[in-house]
Amino acid sequence: MTRLRETDLYPPIKRFLEGQGYEVKGEVADCDVVACRDGEDPVVVELKTAFSLPLVFQGIRRQTVTDVVYLAVALPGAGAGGRGWRRQSRDIVKLCRRLGLGLITVALETGAPGDGTQGPGHVEVLLDPAPYRPRKSPQRRGRLLREFQRRVGDPNCGGSSKRRLVTAYRQDALRCAAFLAQAGPARLSEIRSVTGVAGAARILQRDVYGWFQRVERGTYAVTPLGRRELVVYADVLESLGLTARAAAE
């Protein structure tokens, strides 16, 4: 199979832009493709056989020349490359949108992922350059601040993935489990009263961690797994003013 080159992208890109009424020239002042049309900002297109960080850097540098900058990449054919593109394409589009860059794909291989009608040389504009205006989500902001405020202390090391994250929810579950490990089976009303966990009923009934078991209606106990987890999270319990002493008994 012939290895793709950046120059393979130039002819279809040139034809595409000329079809839009542009005059197109290659390799002008460090730009891979420059297209001009009367009374408009020049269009710059940077070519790469695959999407990469160096391509992004190139696009950002070209934004000092014009606001209309596109990144053009070869659309992978069938196989692992095509599957990888399908997984990443949405994130790639989001990245380009945030940077104000346009994105173009060029089908150079038979079997490139698409609607089944495009053939080699097909050019598709996935995104036009435009200033990025992030859309804020009040709901996500609210969840972020509620979690920050409810979480006691700072039990997680930023960037770490070795231990499951200690969320405010997990801290409340640990409070309930520690109480049951020491007191034995108890009713929901007592658990809520002693631990101060307002959502105790939901935590014990959902039992997302497998730490609790219902002994009878409204009465719960801690499971063997829950006792072991109290030992694992002994440092978190200590930060909450609790102890895992009874958990190992």
For position 56, which CATH number holds?
3.40.1350
Average pLDDT over residues 116-145: 79
Position 98 pLDDT exceeds 80: yes
Q: Do residue 15 and residue 123 come from a single domain?
A: yes
Position 87 pLDDT exceeds 90: no
* Domain count for the chain: 2
Q: Do residue 181 and residue 122 come from a single domain?
A: no
Token pair 């202390």: residue: 153
- Predicted pLDDT of residue 76: 78
Q: Is 132 within a domain?
A: no
Q: Do residue 119 and residue 195 come from a single domain?
A: no
Q: Is 148 within a domain?
A: no
Average pLDDT over residues 209-238: 93
Distance CA 66, CA 45 (A): 11
Amino acid 66 reads: T
| pLDDT tens-place string over residues 4-55 | 888 889 999 999 999 999 999 999 888 999 999 988 889 999 999 889 999 9
Average pLDDT over residues 121-146: 85
- Give the phi and the psi of residue 25 in degrees, each rounded to 5: -140, 145
Q: Structural domain of residue 82, as residue ranges?
A: 6-127
Q: Is 135 within a domain?
A: no
Q: Do residue 81 and residue 168 come from a single domain?
A: no
Query: Which residue in 228, 247, 225 sits closest to 180, CA to CA?
Result: 247
For the chain, how big is the Rg over CA atoms in Å? 29
Confidence band of 136 (pLDDT split at 50, 70, 90):
confident
Model pTM? 0.59
- Greatest Cα pair distance, the chain, in angstroms, is 83
Q: Is 94 within a domain?
A: yes
Q: Do residue 41 and residue 121 come from a single domain?
A: yes
Mean pLDDT of the chain: 86
Q: Is 242 within a domain?
A: yes
Q: Is 134 within a domain?
A: no
CATH number of residue 213's parent domain: 1.10.10.10
